[in-house]
Amino acid sequence: MRTFDFDLFVIGGGSGGVRAARMAAQRGARVALAECAELGGTCVNVGCIPKKLYSYAAGYAEAFEEAAGFGWDLGEARFDWSRLKTNRAREIRRLNEVYRSLLEGAGATLVQGWAQLADAHTVQVGERRFTAQHVLLATGGMPFVPDLPGREHVVVSDAMFDLDPFPKRLLVVGGGYIACEFASIFNGLGAQVTLLLRRAHILSDFDEDVRHFLAKEMGKAGIDIKLNVSIETLSRTRGGLRATLSRGQQLEADTVLYAIGRVPLTACLGLEAAGVKVDGQGAIVVDAHYRSSQPSVFAVGDVSTRKQLTPVALAEAMVVVDHLFGKGRRRLAYEYIPTAVFTHPNVGTCGYTEAEARAKFGADRITVFCTEFKPLRHTLSGRSERTFMKLVVEKGSDRVVGLHMVGAEAGEIVQGFAVAMNAGATKAQFDATIGIHPTAAEEFVTMREPAPG
């Protein structure tokens, strides 16, 4: 019987990789993890965590404006971009060390450097070679930038947290959640923001009512959204950057952010040498147990072919560990996974969009409930921001199969309702639940009249 250096070798120290390595080591497996950058991956270093911190920072500008309506007289506010960057960097370093401590405390071996597969059971890191009975690929993804004239002047989302100087004019290309979040953040921090996208609407994977409502609210906040247009060329001028658009129009900006999507980080991993297949987008093809075409190699998170969310990577990692070193009973259901977009206002969603529900269950088997209102906070704040909520119900079972919100703290609110939806909650059960008054969340249990049409 062949002897291996490790029972599990993890390539990638992001959320999924660290979770798998730590939990496998705690179960007694001999585990190594290779990472060439800081631990924590995209989420901790250049994604979810710093983005949410900057979203909080942007929210203070709104709060200062609202305070007068509640009796507060404030002096002139001044934003210090350098201080925010310094404080954020300190917190990220702390989290990097937390991840390191968790791994070392569990008994996992950390290997610094770029790792790639030499064969189905061998990992090469620089000049060193390690053998493992199982290999887990958790290298995540990276921003995609098309090949266009002036591409060298573009920045991607990874670079947005340390821009120097702060961009007074920001052009964001893309309409997905990353583009919309950065547009909202920098608009709140004081930049003049233009959001430019090729499509006819933002957030194409979200419910139609949600994306239209959010676009209207972002526009009211001062973001200039330009639809059905793209950049043909980008050039540097004495005053900054000049983007020439497909309609011939020109826009001036200090920074141009491309946030049109992310691609799996599978290049230079030695996948071909190990017999690991990828799909047309370069994502590793896996089965229900996250096993690739090579039986000894697994993949989780953004590098594979499933849903690209940090909590999903964590859950997938736990399924792999249970399959390899546990009882193999753990499964992950993708149907009712909640998610949030930290725009201003936030978006929270769980389950099917109205269009998806009609396609899956039948157009005549769906009932929709909607409400739109001014939150109590803004009756005194002076702001015109509104909140939108929507329920999608399957008539036969009365089950709530879609829940969507645009408004303050939407992510916090939807998280709780996601538990109910995963438990199979019906509209009748929503109706029988007493709301907490006065809150925005109570609207989800007080909607009685179906939307027309």
pTM greater than 0.95: yes
φ, ψ of residue 198 to 5 degrees: the values are: -75, -25
* 3-state SS record for 138-166: CCCEEECCCCCCCHHHCECHHHHHHCCCC
Query: Using CB atoms within 10 A of its CB, is residue 162 exposed (0-12), middle (13-18) or buried (19+)?
Result: exposed
**What would the DSSP string read from start to end of 81-121?**
HHHHHHHHHHHHHHHHHHHHHHHHHHTPEEEES-EEEEETT
Nearest by Cα to 336 from 370, 311, 365, 368: 311
Active site residue 378: no
Contacting residues for 178 by C-beta, under 8 A, at least 6 apart: 157, 259, 262
Nearest by Cα to 182 from 63, 59, 81, 51: 51
pLDDT at 1: 64
Contacting residues for 323 by C-beta, under 8 A, at least 6 apart: 289, 290, 330
6-142+263-325 and 339-445 share one CATH topology? no
pLDDT in tens, the chain (453 residues): 679 999 999 999 999 999 999 999 999 999 999 999 999 999 999 999 999 999 999 999 999 999 999 999 999 999 999 999 999 999 999 999 999 999 999 999 999 999 999 999 999 999 999 999 999 999 999 999 999 999 999 999 999 999 999 999 999 999 999 999 999 999 999 999 999 999 999 999 999 999 999 999 999 999 999 999 999 999 999 999 999 999 899 999 999 999 999 999 999 999 999 999 999 999 999 999 999 999 999 999 999 978 889 999 999 999 999 999 999 999 999 999 999 999 999 999 999 999 999 999 999 999 999 999 999 999 999 999 999 999 999 999 999 999 999 999 999 999 999 999 999 999 999 999 999 999 999 999 999 999 987
| Options 121, 344, 404, 437, the catalytic residue | 437
Q: Decide: helix, strand or coil at residue 200.
A: coil
Largest CA distance in the chain: 77
d(CA 197, CA 279): 26
Amino acid in position 26? Q
Q: What residues pair up with 372 in beta bridges, in sequence order?
A: 388
d(CA 312, CA 282): 19
d(CA 101, CA 323): 25
d(CA 204, CA 224): 18
- CATH dotted code for 151-260: 3.50.50.60
Q: Are strands 255-258 and 262-264 parallel, antiparallel or unpaired?
A: unpaired
Angle subtended at Cα 180 by Cα 210 and Cα 201, rounded to the nearest 5 degrees: 50
pLDDT at 247: 85
d(CA 282, CA 277): 9
Which one is the CATH code of 339-445: 3.10.129.10, 3.40.190.10, 3.90.1170.40, 3.30.390.30? 3.30.390.30
Residue 410 — left, alpha, or beta (φ > 0 → left; ψ -120 to 50 → alpha)? alpha
CATH 3.40.50.300 corresponds to the domain 6-142+263-325: no
Domain coordinates of the chain in residue numbers?
A: 6-142+263-325, 151-260, 339-445
Handedness of CA 19, 23, 24, 28 (dihedral sign): positive
CB 115 within 8 A of CB 123: yes
Amino acid in position 134? H
